[in-house]
Amino acid sequence: MARDNSPRGRRRDILKTITIGGAIGISGLAGCVGDPDELGGGDDENFDTVQFGVLEPRTGEFSALAKEHYQGTRLAIQQINDSDEFDFTIEHEEYDTQLDPATATQQATQAVQSDGAQFISGCISSSAALAINSFAADNEVVYTPGAADISITGENCNEYVFRFETNTAQIAAVMSQWTADELGDRIVYHIADYAYGESVLNEVETRMESSSDSYERVGVTRSDQGSTNFEAFISQISDVSDEADALVVGMTGSDLAIFLSQASSRGLPDEIPIVTTTGSFRAVRAGGGEGVYNTYSGVRYVPEIETGDNQAFVEAYESEYDAPPDNFSRVGYESIRMVANGIREAGSRDPTTVRETLSGMEHETIFGPNRFRECDQQAMNPVWMGECVEPDSGELADVELLTQLSGEEAAPDCEETGCEL
Amino acid sequence: MIGGILQQLVDGLTIGVVYVLLAAGLSVIFGVMHVINFAHGELFALGAYFALALIAPFGGTAFFAALFVAPLLVGIIGVAIERFTVRPLYGRNPLYHILLTFGLVLVINDLIYLIWEPGNVNLPTPAILSGTIDVVGLNASVYNVFVIVFGAAMALSVWAMLEHTKYGLIIRAGSQDRQMVRNLGIDIDRYYSLVFGMGAALAAVAGIILGGYQTVSPEMGMSVIIPAFVIVVLGGLGSFKGAVAGGLLVGIIQTLLRTYAPILEGTVIFLLMIGILLVRPRGLFGVEMEEEGGELLTGSGGVLDDRTRKWVGLAAVGLLALLPLGAGTFYSTYTVTLAIEILVWALFALSLDFVMGYTGLVSLGHALFYGLGAYAVAIALLHVSQSAFVAIGLAIVISAAIAWVVGYLSIRVSGVYFAMITLGFAELFYNMLYRLEITGGSEGLFGISTYYGIAGVGIALDEIGLFLGPVTLTGQSLFYYIALAALIGSFLLTRRMLNSPFGSVLKSIRENEQRATFLGYETTRYKRRAFVVSGALAGLAGGLFTLNSGYAAPSFAYWLHSGEVIVMVILGGMGTLYGPIVGATVFFGLEEILTGFTPRWRLVLGTIFLLFVIFLPRGLVSLPARLKPLVTRDSGPGAEPAPDDSHMRGDD
Residue A224: list chain B partners with CB under 8 A: 265-266, 431, 434
Mutate to test the interface with A, among B147, B334, B604 (most CBs of A within 10 A): B334
Domain for residue A28, yes or no? no
More confident call, B150 vs B133: B150
- Residues A239, A201: one domain? yes
A302 touches chain B (CB under 8 A): no
Query: Which candidate in B122, B341, B344 is best for mutational testing of the A interface (most A CBs within 10 A)?
Result: B122
Distance between B52 CA and the closest CA of chain A, angstroms: 13
A245 vs B: CB within 8 A: no
pLDDT value at position A398? 96
The three-state secondary structure class of B239 is coil
Residues A402 and A290 in one domain: yes
pTM value is: 0.86
Residues A57 and A151 in one domain: yes
User: Which tens digit of pLDDT belongs to each residue from A10-26?
Assistant: 444 444 444 333 333 33
What would the mean pLDDT of B94-98 be, rounded to a whole number? 75
- What span, in angstroms and rounded, lies between the C-alpha atoms of B423 and B585? 25
CA distances from B512 to A79, B134, B504, B509, B617 (A): 68, 61, 12, 5, 21
Among the listed residues B529, B492, B521, the one whose alpha carbon sits nearest the alpha carbon of residue B505: B521
Check CB contact under 8 Å for B337 and A110: yes
Chain A nearest CA to B88, separation (Å): 30
Residues A347 and A266 reside in one and the same domain: no
CA dihedral A355, A356, A358, A360 (to 10 degrees): 140
CA distance A71 to chain B (A): 14
With a cut of 80, say whether residue A174 has pLDDT above it.
yes
- What is the strand order of the sheet A246-250 is part of? A216-223, A186-192, A246-250, A274-276, A295-299, A383-389, A398-405
Cα–Cα distance, A8 to B550 (Å, whole number): 17
- Is there a contact between B328 and A239 if contact means CB atoms under 8 Å apart? no
Q: Are residues A409 and A265 in the same domain?
A: yes
Residue A326: the pLDDT is 95
Contact A213, A270 (CB under 8 A): no
Alpha helices (runs of H) in A282-381, residue ranges in sequence order: 282-288, 310-321, 327-346, 351-358
> Residues A243, A287: one domain?
yes
> Does some domain include residue A129?
yes
Q: What is the CATH number of the domain that holds A251?
A: 3.40.50.2300
Determine the average pLDDT of the residues in B259-264.
81
Contact B191, B167 (CB under 8 A): yes
* pLDDT range class, residue A76, cuts 50, 70, 90: very high
Least confident of A28-37, A270-279, B106-115, B443-452: A28-37
Sign of the alpha-carbon dihedral angle for A73, A75, A76, A82:
positive
The answer to whether residues A62 and A93 belong to one domain is yes
Residues A295 and A206 in one domain: yes
| Contact flag A102-B545 (C-beta cutoff 8 Å) | yes
- Regarding whether A288 and A198 lie in a shared domain, the answer is yes
Which residues constitute the domain of residue A235? 169-299+382-416
Asked whether A275 and A245 are in contact (CB, 8 A), the reply is no
Of the candidates B407, B621, B584, which has an alpha carbon nearest to the alpha carbon of residue B487?
B584
ipTM surpasses cut 0.85: no
B332:A35 CB<8 A: no
pLDDT tier for residue B294 given thresholds of 50, 70 and 90: low
* Among candidates B215, B465, B474 on the partner chain, residue whose Cβ is nearest the Cβ of A257: B215
Tell me if A149 is assigned to some domain: yes
> pLDDT tens digits for B371-388?
999 999 999 999 999 999
Cross-chain Cβ contact B443/A149 below 8 Å: yes
Q: Do B141 and A64 touch (CB under 8 A)?
A: no
pLDDT exceeds 90 at position A216 = yes
Model confidence over B548-575: pLDDT tens digits?
A: 988 999 999 998 899 889 989 988 888 8
Q: With beta carbons under 8 A apart, name residues in chain A contacting B435.
A: 193
- Name chain B contacts of A223, Cβ cutoff 8 Å: 258, 262, 265
What is the structure's pLDDT at A5?
Answer: 39
Asked if A33 lies within 8 A of B465 by C-beta distance, the reply is yes
Count the helices and strands in chain B (H runs, E runs). 23, 6
Residue of A nearest to B4 (CA): A235
| Cross-chain CB nearest to A113 (options B144, B217, B334) | B334
Task: Enumerate residues 6+ apart whose C-beta is below 8 A from A106.
Answer: B337, B338, B341
Which of B122, B214, B469 lies at the smallest CB-CB distance from A27?
B469
Q: What's residue B223's pLDDT? A: 86
**Residue count of chain B:** 652
A259 and A112 within one domain: no
Which domains are delineated in chain B? 2-279 (1.10.3470), 332-626 (1.10.3470)
Answer yes or no: is pLDDT of A199 > 80: yes
Give a yes or no: residue A29 inside a domain.
no
Axis crossing angle, helix B334-359 with helix B578-597, rounded to the nearest 10 = 130
* DSSP-derived secondary structure for A390-417: --SSSSSPEEEEEEEE-HHHHSPPGGGS
Contact B361/B575 with Cβ under 8 angstroms? no
Chain A residue numbers with beta carbons less than 8 Å from the beta carbon of B120 are 64, 253-254, 257-258, 283-284, 286-288
Residue type (1 letter), A313: F
Identify all chain B residues contacting A261, using CB atoms and an 8 Å cutoff.
122, 214-215
Q: State whether A15 and B443 contact (CB < 8 Å).
A: no
As a whole number of Å, the end-to-end CA separation of chain B is 56
What crossing angle do the helices spanning A63-82 and A310-321 adopt, rounded to 10°?
A: 110
In a domain, A4, yes or no: no
* Alpha carbon distance B568, B67 (integer Å): 38
In sequence order, the 6+-apart residues with CB closer than 8 A to the CB of A72 are: A317, A325, A328, A329, A330, A331, A332, A333, A334, A336
CB–CB of A286 and B119 under 8 A? yes
Please state, as a whole number, how many other Cβ atoms lie within 10 Å of the Cβ of residue A21: 18
- For residues B38 and B456, the model is more confident at B38
The verdict on residue A2 lying in a domain is no
Comparing CB atoms, the residue among A33, A225, A254 nearest residue B215 is: A254
Which of A19, A229, A262 is most worth mutating to test chain B (most B CB atoms within 10 A of its CB)?
A229
Residue of A nearest to B133 (CA): A266
Mean pLDDT throughout B581-595? 91
A positions 211-230 inside 8 Å of B (CB): 221-229
Partner residue opposite A225 with nearest CB, options B144, B258, B442? B442
pLDDT band at A69 (very low <50, low <70, confident <90, very high): very high
Q: In chain A, which residues have their Cβ closer than 8 Å to the Cβ of B442?
A: 126-127, 194-196, 225
Q: Which residues of A are less than 8 Å from B41 in CB distance?
A: none
The answer, yes or no, to whether residue A218 has pLDDT greater than 90, is yes
Q: Among A39, A59, A125, pick the best mutation site for testing chain B contact (most B Cβ within 10 A).
A: A59
Q: What is the C-alpha separation between B195 and A379, in angstroms, rounded?
A: 58
User: Are A64 and A147 in the same domain?
Assistant: yes
- A348 lies in the same domain as A411: no
Contact A98, B559 (CB under 8 A): no
Q: Is A265 in contact with B555 (Cβ distance < 8 A)? A: no
Task: Say if A275 falls within a structural domain.
Answer: yes
pLDDT digits (tens, 9 = 90+) for A112-152: 988 999 999 999 888 889 899 989 998 999 999 999 889 99
Express each pLDDT in B37-74 by its tens digit.
Answer: 889 999 999 999 999 999 988 877 899 999 999 999 99
Q: Does a structural domain hold residue A376?
A: no
Average pLDDT (A221-248) is 91
* Cα–Cα distance measured from residue A162 to residue A371, given in angstroms and rounded to the nearest whole number: 10
Strand order in the sheet with B465-468: A31-34, B465-468, B471-474
Q: What is the reported pLDDT for B266?
A: 79
Report the pLDDT averaged over residues A83-95.
93
Residue A8 has pLDDT above 50, yes or no: no
In chain A, the number of structural domains is 2
